[in-house]
Amino acid sequence: MAEQTEHPDGTVTRLRLDIAYEGTTFQGWAKQPGIRTVQGELEAALATVFNRYPPHPTVSVAGRTDAGVHATGQVAHLDLTPAQLKHITEPHGRGARRMEPGPAIAKRLNGIAGLRSDIHVSGASIAPPGFDARFSSIFRRYEFRIADSGAARNPLLRHHTVWYPARLDLDAMNVAARELLGLHDWAAYCRPRERASTIRELQEFQWQRDATGVLLARLQADAFCHSMVRALVGATVSVGEGKLGGDRLAHIRDAAERTSDFKVMPAHGLTLVEVGYPPDADLAARAERTRARRDQAHPPTAHLTE
């Protein structure tokens, strides 16, 4: 029998889902009536799988991505009742064998989505005790792709790469990016949300060119507030084009006020590539600390990251 975890609604089994999606036709992660979203598609598929076993499972996510943003490393969790668990793991049909819960739910969800879907459950497994996709995480990592005037422009990647009409100075962008690292108030680089904290630790921010000349930014933080990644990318692009001095970006950050000195970059160049978690033994404690910080700050905290 699969390992079970205690939950306020009774004894359930928590599953971790690793998810990839092409964000072009999604209006973000969060479910909204009458609008196609990643959460909406997943929960509709779960309702089909567990049609006879209500209440239908819902998914909790590490970070709600905005409209047009892609993911290769999104993480979510869902809880299954004993009846739901039995339904997906027991053999169905002649010659069928019992499946483990993770592969069983991934197979069902991907089967409903179809072979040409823009969403795919790349992995699923029983979550360790204390795991919470959102609150147990310790970092999120994003990548942003730009083809400037010196790079090859591949139409097959046009939905994942911003085409920029100027030549950008990679070295200047990296100098400016390094100056931004650390724990700071990022209000100047975030879209404001009432009562939501804008204090984050930017742990990594660097640029490089790939073999085709495309500029690739890698950014990692304990969390990102809304539009923060695209604003940071836009600010360093302005430096790379010579419109802003590299030292200006830290001054903008420290002023903690929104500015029109640079443009926030389009969503389609952005991909969530990884969500990091501590060792299994530390998952519950990490979740408790994160929830405590959220409660002290009185949001609902912005875990809408991009």
CA distance 74 to 198: 22
Which amino acid is it at 175?
A: V
Angle at 3 between CA 128 and CA 107, to 5 degrees: 85
Is residue 125 helix, strand or coil?
Answer: strand
- Alpha carbons 30 and 59: distance in angstroms, whole number: 10
What's the sign of the alpha-carbon dihedral 37, 18, 265, 139? Answer: positive
140 and 63 Cβ atoms separated by less than 8 Å: yes
- Catalytic site residue from 9, 18, 66, 171: 66
Angle at 177 between CA 237 and CA 170, to 5 degrees: 50
Question: 10 Å Cβ neighbour count for 103?
Answer: 14
* Alpha-helix residue ranges (DSSP H) falling in 170-227: 170-178
- Is 66 one of the catalytic residues? yes
Three-state SS annotation for 57-99: CCCEECCECCCCCEEEEEEEEEEECHHHHHHHHCCCCCCCCCC
Q: How far apart are CA 134 and CA 301, in angstroms?
A: 11
Residue 91, preceding peptide bond in cis (omega within 30° of 0): no
Tell me which residues are annotated as active site. Answer: 66
